[in-house]
Amino acid sequence: DGGITQSPKYLFRKEGQNVTLSCEQNLNHDAMYWYRQDPGQGLRLIYYSQIVNDFQKGDIAEGYSVSREKKESFPLTVTSAQKNPTAFYLCASSTQGGIRTGELFFGEGSRLTVL
């Protein structure tokens, strides 16, 4: 079945460590996105990419990095510079039509906890 796969589902990290969250899609979607979700704050955009080898910062990019070497993959690295990384991270993708309207398809999420 087509969809978006995020891994790991749960991740624990010590302070000062970098961690990479995986996002893979087999929907043949052009655009991919990373959102952060905190209780009561909705979703906030971290980074997005509308084409391979190109990506843009979202509203809260500081302390994060991404790459888009393949259409199917958009990994997110949470660096030690991110001051409050504990959150639920959601990866999403969209078609060309979705890029015009904003419609997104979401993965199941990854919950990162910093100990």
Partner 1 sequence: AQSVTQLDSQVPVFEEAPVELRCNYSSSVSVYLFWYVQYPNQGLQLLLKYLSGSTLVKGINGFEAEFNKSQTSFHLRKPSVHISDTAEYFCAVSDNNAGNMLTFGGGTRLMVKP
Q: Contact at 8 Å (CB) between 63 and 87?
A: no
| Residue closer to partner 1 (CB basis): 10 or 81 | 10
Query: In degrees rounded to 5, what are phi and psi of residue 8?
Result: -75, 165
99 scored as a contact of partner 1 (CB under 8 A)? yes
Residue closest to 69 by CA, chosen among 85, 51, 81: 51
Q: Specify the stretch interacting with partner 1 by CB under 8 A; choose among 13-21, 60-68, 69-77, 84-92.
A: 84-92
96 scored as a contact of partner 1 (CB under 8 A)? no
Structure tokens belonging to residue 86 = 């504990």
Q: Specify the stretch interacting with partner 1 by CB under 8 A; choose among 14-22, 62-70, 76-84, 86-94.
A: 86-94
Question: For partner 1, which residue of 21, 49, 107, 114 counts as binding (CB under 8 A)?
Answer: 107
Report the DSSP pairing between strands 87-94 and 64-66: unpaired
In terms of residues, how long is the chain?
Answer: 115
54 scored as a contact of partner 1 (CB under 8 A)? no
Q: Give the footprint of partner 1 on residues 33-52 (CB under 8 A).
A: 40-45, 48
Q: Contact at 8 Å (CB) between 52 and 74?
A: no
4 scored as a contact of partner 1 (CB under 8 A)? yes
- Residues in contact with partner 1 by the rule CB under 8 A: 4, 6, 40-45, 48, 58, 88, 90, 92, 99-109, 111
